Amino acid sequence: MKKTHFLVSMLALVIFSGCRSNDENDNETPRQQEVHNKTVNVTNHDGRPFSTGNGSGSVAGKFVAGPGGSVLMQGFYWDVPEGGTWWNTVKDKLTAWSDSGIGAVWLPPASKAQNGAYSMGYDPTDYYDFGNFNQNGSIETRFGSRTELEALITKAHTENMQVYADIVINHNSGGQSQANPFTGTNTWTDFSGVASGKFQRSYNDFYKNSYGNNDEGAFGGFPDLCHANPYVQDWLWGRDDSVGKYYKNVMKFDGWRFDYVKGFGPWVVNSWNSNVGGFSVGELWDSNVNTLEWWANNANSSVFDFAAYYKMDEAFDNGNLNALNDDMMWKRNPYKAVTFVANHDTDVIYNKMPAYAYILTHEGYPTIFYRDYEEWLNKERLNNLIWIHNNKATGTTSILYTDNDEYIARRNGYNGNPGLVVYINTSSNWQERWVETNWSSKQIKDFTGGSSWYPTTQGDKWVKIQCPPNSYSIWSLNQ
């Protein structure tokens, strides 16, 4: 689940810092929100922080949702440093991320995998070993100890941030060899010796077995976990000490990123969500928006918007902003769409800043990739976009204009929040356009600082705005 990353260098601009918006979905987990100087527990149905429309970015180092909602940080990349330091690395960044308006962090698979201290976690052996048992050649995982993981989660909650666990339940690795009557050979399916003593498995818990020959898909030659087996269901989400409930109630994770959901039916995630709760998003690596929508509805879960991802690549790397008119998951159901520009598996978009301007001004739940934020792109520009997202990106979306190198869209505002107009220009020249806004006879400004104009909209809400070359501008009321 690895890929090659493209290093991008961008021009630095002096700009503002900030936050953004969203609304609701399905599974609840309490969050802290400041409302009229009182703190109350309020959530969206998807477990993400809800805002009543008066929110600021961050108060005293704690994340507070703005009217636009929250932003997710992918808190790792492929092959993060070995040596058990990663949990502490992430923990030390949480306050700064909270200050910037990031409301949740997605962590890599946290339990012990076959390659022990060298594994990125996608070859799971013992779901209950978080770096506290001596097995697979180490006590700690690649990322650190259980104590360090728990300290990270506690720190995130202190910052009013949620923590999402990467859940790998399609396949397992690291079992011992055993005779398998369903294959007539030996298979590596004996997990009776897992150090935690929990969720011990044998050949009948993997395909092929008494429940059938296969399910929706195996991965990489690993033993394919059989979700049709009631024993497996019970240990994954049913019993009080099931994997899901242990992660939520003991380890205190708030939500789930389900790995390789093409490998099993959406009913599996639906059952997990019904029994365990919390925010969830599935990695359904498919650009077909019909497939994404079908899976999200049947899984009762959000899904990564791969349709938008590949359209952004076409738009920003191949000189065709008209591609942004095409269908995407966030257009079908923004409450179930998690948008992204890069992740640990795939990083094909080269022209990343306009792509981030796109996802942080449009509907959906936007994700920021760790290396983009901490290493490769201009952090001040990203913080400015996060602020705009959290404070201005509200309401439905109307596309106002597109051609090969210009794209203009309007967020129509919600519950008293004015919304915004975003102008993306991939040409080498300044561009200007007349557009229809949400505002009559009001002064507006570009909240990125790229334009020095302070135009006043006409009585019919039309106004001329501009955009720098190879950049973007984002306009809203000057207030």
pLDDT in tens, 406-443: 999 999 999 999 999 999 999 999 999 999 999 999 99
% of the chain residues with pLDDT over 70:
87
Secondary structure string (H, E, C) spanning 38-60: EEEECECCCCCECCCCCCCCEEC
Flag whether pLDDT at 3 surpasses 60.
no
Residues 297 and 410 in one domain: no
Flag whether pLDDT at 176 surpasses 90.
yes
Residues 381 and 452 in one domain: no
- AA letter at 190: D
Chain segment 95-136, per-residue pLDDT in tens: 999 999 999 999 999 999 999 999 999 999 999 999 999 999
Chain segment 457-473, per-residue pLDDT in tens: 999 999 999 999 999 99
Mean pLDDT computed over every residue of the chain: 89
Flag whether pLDDT at 5 surpasses 70.
no
Per-residue pLDDT band at 149 (split at 50, 70, 90): very high
Flag whether pLDDT at 258 surpasses 70.
yes
Instruction: Count up the domains in the chain and report the number.
Output: 2
Q: Is residue 209 part of a domain?
A: no
Binding residues for Ca(2+): 170, 234, 240
CATH number at residue 325: 3.20.20.80
Domain boundary among 393, 415, 436: 393
Q: Is residue 455 part of a domain?
A: yes
Instruction: For residue 432, give its domain range.
Output: 399-477
Flag whether pLDDT at 34 surpasses 50.
no
Q: What is the mean pLDDT of residues 367-380?
A: 98
Chain segment 75-87, per-residue pLDDT in tens: 999 999 999 999 9
Q: Is residue 128 part of a domain?
A: no
Q: What is the pLDDT of residue 62?
A: 87
CATH number at residue 472: 2.60.40.1180
Chain segment 46-67, per-residue pLDDT in tens: 333 333 222 334 445 589 999 9
Query: Which residues are identified as catalytic?
Result: 259, 283
Q: What is the pLDDT of residue 90?
A: 98
CA 200 to chain centre: 31
Flag whether pLDDT at 285 surpasses 90.
yes
The pTM of the full predicted model, rounded to 2 decimals, is 0.88
Query: Six-digit token pair at 466?
Result: 């501009």
- AA letter at 304: F
Domain boundary among 366, 393, 420: 393
Residues 346 and 256 in one domain: yes
Q: What is the pLDDT of residue 60?
A: 52
Residues 316 and 460 in one domain: no
Q: Where are the beta strands (DSSP E) in 301-455?
A: 302-304, 337-339, 365-369, 397-402, 406-411, 420-425, 431-436, 444-446
The answer to whether the beta carbons of residues 24 and 52 sit under 8 Å apart is no
% of the chain residues with pLDDT over 90:
87
Q: How many helices (H) and strands (E) does the chain have?
A: 12, 25
The answer to whether the beta carbons of residues 69 and 49 sit under 8 Å apart is yes
